[in-house]
Structure 1
Amino acid sequence: MPALVGHGLHKRFELKGTKRTVQALADVSLDIPAGTLSALVGPDGAGKTTLLRLAAGLMRADQGTLQVLGIDVAADPQAVQDRISYMPQRFGLYEDLSVQENLDLYADLHGVPKKERTERYARLMEMTDLGRFTARPAGKLSGGMKQKLGLACTLVRSPELLLLDEPTVGVDPLSRRELWEIVRQLVDDERLSVIVSTAYLDEAERCSRVFVLHEGRLLARGAPQALRDRARDLCFIAKPPQGMPARTLQAKLLDAPATIIDAVPQGGEVRLIRQPAADTDALAALLGGAPCEPVPARLEDGFMVLLRAQQQQKSAAPSAKAAGVTVSGDADETVIEVKELVRTFGDFTAVASTSFSVRRGEIFGLLGPNGAGKTTTFRMLCGLLPASSGFLQVAGVNLRHARAQARARIGYVSQKFALYGNLTVQENLEFFGGAYGLRGARLRERMQAVLEQFELRGQEQSASGLLPGGFKQRLAMATGLLHEPEILFLDEPTSGTDPLARREFWRRITALAEAGVTVIITTHFMEEAEYCDRIVIQDAGRLLAIGTPQEVRQQAGRAPDMEEAFIGIVTQSRERRAAA
């Protein structure tokens, strides 16, 4: 019996408060065999979550048929729900309850007999490594541990089909690897059918089948190899000239869409995909003599070929003029200085004696596992949280004594996009402009500038809460840059976004850095560390590594990429602490 069979699925939604409708799914047909691990991938708004919610019996298709485990889900959703488990993006843990109490609650809700629970709990605690934390409140767990607990609660009964909606969004690489080991174990050992939506193409690479959705339509399906083949013989690695950051060469390549489909920094070099119609001579001319070698295609390469073809160059990467902000000053000037910074909460030390400095125009990355102390460090740098002790100076202002004065010179974009969803794009810009002290003609001038720079023209009267994810990200950036800050703080700004949106985002950040803006960013996408001039890796509140991406990879035993370097450095530190 197949896990899922859908034919001609259509689903529309009416936008709340408007007469407009959105086509979430359009004529989607797919079949997924039992006992397999399948991935749904695609940009924001592609229809991935809608398809999973249809499969879970939480909504009905407008047209088409959908069978899950041989059951017509529209005719008998309860019969489907009795045999599947579904973990949405925001799984409902009860943060005041302990790990064990959350498990018991979900076991009660699913009617799991008492006699079956002991063995099931033991298996789940072994898989998730949460056995040591059964008495800890869920709210006190790190982000990665919360996701593992959510998965354990989803599995308190033995489902025949598991639906996971972006289970690793906001999770660090170490926890992400652990979550995937659990999923892989369920498929291999229990022959469980699993359908997962994901923004990480390296995760989809592990699946037996991949379904690519775009604007509600199914663009491609098949084994990862079939999708990789779309980029066969088009992928290369180029070495930037001496002294040129990889992101600078990447920006130059992205600005030549007639020759280049995609480009991304990788290990200090640039991985690129050339257009099939562009010959190697055109590529060599664009690279200006930079060494270039062919490499095998990855799933992400095939995905980017598909999406760029859909774009048809309508949304080419923004030009270097997208910055819209110019900061004058010496490039060697230190704009952030941190010495022996400490932050405690009661008897818990979140940040212990951290020291570093950041120069004007640098892109500086704060990396670390969930619960490592990087968000606390980040909030102290922004002036949102006072330090317990130590020296902290931002834009020439001592943050321990004049936080409000420093905040006037910085911009901030939070992970959750602190926009007012019921306000329009224009109203959000007016509100945040006023909060930054902009008034009258100056505010109108800056609003017009950011609407143009972030391609929000025509969206002024749209409610920001109804915008697609990529537009929300642009609006958040626009509000953070309205007052032309010297320093921009970005807290996991690309969490959950697809590769296409991440390329556009980083093209803008590169332009900002070239204009002299200093950028401080936290991220769980290790490929994004390659855009940074320097990075810090923290864990348990302590600084483990600092330097250029290349220096950090060397510290990790010449790791091939930043993800391996990150996991190696954090794992070695934890092993040393455990042995001490």
Structure 2
Amino acid sequence: MTQPLAQTTDLVKCFDANRALDGVSMAIEPGRITGLVGPDGAGKTTLIRILAGLMAPTSGTVEVLGGKPGEKLDDLGYMPQRFGLYEDLSVIENLRLYAEVRGLPRAEQQASFDRLLDFTDLARFQDRLAGKLSGGMKQKLGLACALVKTPRVLLLDEPGVGVDPISRRELWSMVGDLTEQGIGVLWSTAYLDEAEKCDTVYLLNEGQLLFDGPPAELTGRVRDRVIRVTGFQERRRQFLTHALDRGDVIDGTIQGRSVRLLVADGKPVPDAAALAAGPDTEVGTADPRFEDGFIERLGGGPKGTSALAERYRTIPETEECAIEARGLTKVFGEFTAARDMNFRIPRGQIFGLLGPNGAGKSTTFKMLCGLLSPTSGTGAVAGKSLRKSAAAARASLGYMAQKFSLYGDLSVRQNLDFFAGAYDLPRDKAKRAIEAMIEIFELGDKVDVNAGTLPLGFKQRLALACAVMHEPPVLFLDEPTSGVDPVTRREFWMHINGLVEKGVTVLVTTHFMDEAEYCDRATLIYRAEQIATGTPDELKAEAARLTSTEDPTMEDAFIALIEEFDRKREAREAA
């Protein structure tokens, strides 16, 4: 057996009465990618910080490169979860700073920089300020800074958070190349398709180790219990809600017009008749995924009925589109961030803005919710023009920002109280709404906690609560589940699906391509242009035509459509 580069035995870490880690034993082997997965607050970041020598354990043993953590920092690379670079320094200045901190001799620095800039494809951007980089470029720069001195152990704390599928694949490819040099990698992730690619996976929950071994071992435990249902009469969101409320179903997701279900262990797989969803219902088996095994190991996902949707008002029918963009264009100096955006979203639908980092999604998003004035073109929200009635349009929507935008120094209750006032809710209605949000989003034991200190999943719950407490007819959600674990993501979509059934219209941006399946329609934005628009099934069908892939995923479609656009553009330039 290969000698581990780093390992822990019966590791315990306590913060007051809370055990962040409870008897965790794990190992990082050379030339292999070790995955670390688990819900928010599972203990992943605590474990990585202990291995990096930034935190001492309460008990248990830790060994890194044959010694104590922190003794051999020259051979350790560490990329923290939050962007750990200096945004007011350029790419090359960040690399120089990290080289000095890591003690890389001056004579060796330029060769290291040239290698890393080529490795990350950042050579063209070396003079750009780090704060001006796209999310994918920031993560590549963070990886480069962790590698200024080639380490033997590389610790990566959720490097794919907030990064589009193309950049995530590039990051994964880069790290795969490193393992061929014998480097041992620990990769913490919220993306379970990444975990599936790891050599070994450790699954944490509430500080305890629930599983360790090859990903296929966990996936195999749910084989023959994953089904795909098509042809049902109900609307797909309605069918999913009813299916998840069944006692024999512990998880479910939407895939275009079909629904994918995970059946509980020991329960018979329901047939079309048992589902009672109409004469055309068909039930087929589906290949299990690591995510299926993950959700089952945690006891299943949330049920289907949303308590938020049950108390929400029904949005009345209207002939007007809920959201409309007509030629929206935004130019900053000589740079066009979004060009001629056109789409119409009826009441009670989800419309997705998809695209790589820096493509123009957020610019389009901000123009529609009144945070940016368009250079040309116009838009409307709930029938109110952004040019003529901007204040009235903003009052008709709820907005959840990509980054946590609430007040970190205020408590949970104070944030809710502030937003109730901002939405001009009468005092008695505000009090009822605040109590309802606390109950629905399970914030009861955190009402007096400062929002800035909450775990990410609870921050996002609070942000959604503040966005919906005035029951708006339109919701703008900018990457609402970025960085949160799969269980919390399912809770969010349970609520969103329920609200849409009440007539709420949702505009959402996301980098999780499985979430794009929940959209009624989506538009793919690339290089500031709309390059494809359609239902998820239509976009996947186009990808199947381009790639000859029999059953492409939304991620396959995302990449195929962008690559096709690039091919056509290069052909035009060559001509």
TM-score interval w.r.t. the shorter chain?
A: over 0.9
Tell which deviates more after alignment, 413-422 or 278-287: 278-287
Residue 570 of structure 1 corresponds to 562
Paired residue for 1:268, among 228, 237, 257? 257
Deviation at 1:318, TM superposition (A): 5.6
Paired residue for 2:375, among 378, 388, 403? 388
**For residues 327-476 of structure 1, what are the structure 2 equivalents within 5 Å?**
327-330=314-317, 333-476=320-463
Paired residue for 1:29, among 25, 43, 49? 25
Distance in 1, matches of 2:565 and 2:271, equals 47
Tell which deviates more after alignment, 227-236 or 40-49: 227-236
Residue 190 of structure 2 corresponds to 199
In the alignment, structure 1 residue 246 sits paired with structure 2 residue 228: no
In the alignment, structure 1 residue 151 sits paired with structure 2 residue 143: yes
> C-alpha offsets along residues 398-440 of structure 1, whole Å, 9 cap, x if unaligned?
1123221211111011122322233222211111000111131
Change (3 A) 1:199 1:460: same
Distance in 1, matches of 2:218 and 2:494, equals 26
Distance in 2, matches of 1:284 and 1:467, equals 45
| Aligned-partner residue type, residue 277 of structure 2 | G
| Aligned-partner residue type, residue 299 of structure 2 | R
Distance in 2, matches of 1:482 and 1:86, equals 40
Distance in 2, matches of 1:275 and 1:282, equals 14
Can you give the 5+ residue segments of structure 1 that lack an aligned partner in the other structure?
A: 15-20, 310-314
**For residues 130-209 of structure 1, what are the structure 2 equivalents within 5 Å?**
130-188=122-180, 190-209=181-200
Distance in 2, matches of 1:428 and 1:503, equals 24
* Local SS of the residue matching 1:334: coil
- Normalised by the length of structure 2, the TM-score is 0.94
Deviation at 1:469, TM superposition (A): 2.8
Distance in 2, matches of 1:10 and 1:194, equals 22
RMSD between aligned residues: 1.9
Change (3 A) 1:344 1:283: same
Change (3 A) 1:320 1:174: same
- The answer on whether the counterparts of 1:367 and 1:522 sit within 8 Å (CA) in structure 2 is yes
Tell which deviates more after alignment, 148-157 or 331-340: 331-340
Can you give the 5+ residue segments of structure 2 that lack an aligned partner in the other structure?
A: none
Residue 288 of structure 1 corresponds to 277
- The answer on whether the counterparts of 1:259 and 1:283 sit within 8 Å (CA) in structure 2 is no
Paired residue for 2:202, among 200, 211, 231? 211
Residue 308 of structure 1 corresponds to 299
Residue 8 of structure 2 corresponds to 6
Change (3 A) 1:245 1:104: farther
Tell which deviates more after alignment, 228-237 or 172-181: 228-237
| Aligned-partner residue type, residue 170 of structure 1 | G
> C-alpha offsets along residues 182-235 of structure 1, whole Å, 9 cap, x if unaligned?
0011112x1111001000111011111000000000011001111112212211
Residue 482 of structure 1 corresponds to 469
* Local SS of the residue matching 1:67: strand
| Aligned-partner residue type, residue 196 of structure 1 | W
* Local SS of the residue matching 1:378: helix
Tell which deviates more after alignment, 165-174 or 80-89: 80-89
Aligned residue pairs: how many?
562
Tell which deviates more after alignment, 87-96 or 374-383: 87-96
Deviation at 1:125, TM superposition (A): 2.3
Distance in 1, matches of 2:231 and 2:455, equals 35
In the alignment, structure 1 residue 494 sits paired with structure 2 residue 481: yes
In the alignment, structure 1 residue 59 sits paired with structure 2 residue 55: yes
Tell which deviates more after alignment, 90-99 or 452-461: 452-461
> C-alpha offsets along residues 32-78 of structure 1, whole Å, 9 cap, x if unaligned?
322211000000000000000000000100111100111122xxx2x
Deviation at 1:287, TM superposition (A): 5.4
Deviation at 1:250, TM superposition (A): 2.2
Distance in 1, matches of 2:286 and 2:304, equals 27
Residue 236 of structure 1 corresponds to 227
Distance in 2, matches of 1:474 and 1:366, equals 22
* Local SS of the residue matching 1:211: strand
Residue 119 of structure 1 corresponds to 111
- The answer on whether the counterparts of 1:267 and 1:562 sit within 8 Å (CA) in structure 2 is no
Residue 102 of structure 1 corresponds to 94
Change (3 A) 1:199 1:344: same
Paired residue for 1:91, among 83, 92, 100? 83
Deviation at 1:284, TM superposition (A): 4.9
Deviation at 1:492, TM superposition (A): 0.4
- Normalised by the length of structure 1, the TM-score is 0.93
- The answer on whether the counterparts of 1:246 and 1:531 sit within 8 Å (CA) in structure 2 is no
- The answer on whether the counterparts of 1:343 and 1:387 sit within 8 Å (CA) in structure 2 is yes
Change (3 A) 1:422 1:95: closer
- The answer on whether the counterparts of 2:225 and 2:269 sit within 8 Å (CA) in structure 1 is no
| Aligned-partner residue type, residue 12 of structure 2 | H
Distance in 1, matches of 2:102 and 2:307, equals 55
Among all aligned residue pairs of Structure 1 and Structure 2, give the percentage whose two residues are the same amino acid. Answer: 49
